[in-house]
Structure 1
Amino acid sequence: MIAFTIDRSHPTAAGSWGSSADYLFRTINGLRSHGIHDADMERLGGLIAAIPFEYLDEAA
């Protein structure tokens, strides 16, 4: 099981591995490359991908 935690006061936080969204998408792609399909991660990735970039910039 993998668990992610976030600080809701910084929804677009970024660290040394990029933004939270970058990390999520890299994780999904890494799982796919090993033939692993995680429906919950895929759903979350779809939800994040649907957020307009303008909204993410305003939230930062």
Structure 2
Amino acid sequence: RGVAYRLPARCARAELALLWRREMVVGSYKPRWLQVKLHPAGHSLTALAFVVDRAHPQYAGRLTAARQAKVLAAAQGVFGSSADYLERARVALVTHGIVDPYLERLAVAVARLRRSSPAQRAAEIGLTDALE
């Protein structure tokens, strides 16, 4: 499940340019036109999606939940922090009635790490992989 956005024709070119710039900044995604099914109507349409390139050098592979939280708590890019991006994505999904239990747990773990002191964050390296 996810969210599909329809861009008004009057601003589609400018919005797509911004989207492309944000998603393709390091080339770790592959743009794809995919068939998506919309709910509740159930009809299908073609939508642009950005799919991770698993062969890209920046693809981290399968990280444990604890490692994901640590990376998200610390990572920063040209468009802001990964923690803020995670929270905005989580809130956007919830706003559309989509609650992802894994994202919810991950957001809690990231927030906890960000609230901890630098010494506590350093100690987090020895944590188990379970998210509470």
Check whether TM > 0.5.
yes
Structure 1 residue 23: deviation in Å? 0.7
Aligned equivalent of 1:34, options 79, 96, 111:
96
* 1:24 matched to 2:86: yes
> Larger % of helix: which?
1
> Larger % of strand: which?
2
- Which string of whole-angstrom CA distances, capped at 9 and with x for unpartnered residues, describes residues 6-35 of structure 1? 5x7xx3221133111011000100101101
The alpha-carbon distance between structure 1 residues 49 and 19, as it changes in their structure 2 partners (threshold 3 A), is: same
CA distance in 1, matches of 2:84, 2:95: 16
> Which position in structure 2 is the counterpart of 1:54?
117
Higher relative contact order (CA 8 A, sep 6+): 1
Specify every segment of 5 or more residues in structure 2 that has no aligned partner in the other structure, as ranges: 2-50, 53-58, 61-66, 123-132
Specify every segment of 5 or more residues in structure 1 that has no aligned partner in the other structure, as ranges: none
CA distance in 2, matches of 1:16, 1:32: 26
TM superposition score normalised by structure 1: 0.65
| Structure number with larger C-alpha Rg | 2
- Over aligned residues, Cα RMSD in angstroms? 2.9
Aligned length: 53
- Percent same amino acid at aligned positions? 40
- Which string of whole-angstrom CA distances, capped at 9 and with x for unpartnered residues, describes residues 36-58 of structure 1? 00000000001111122533xx7
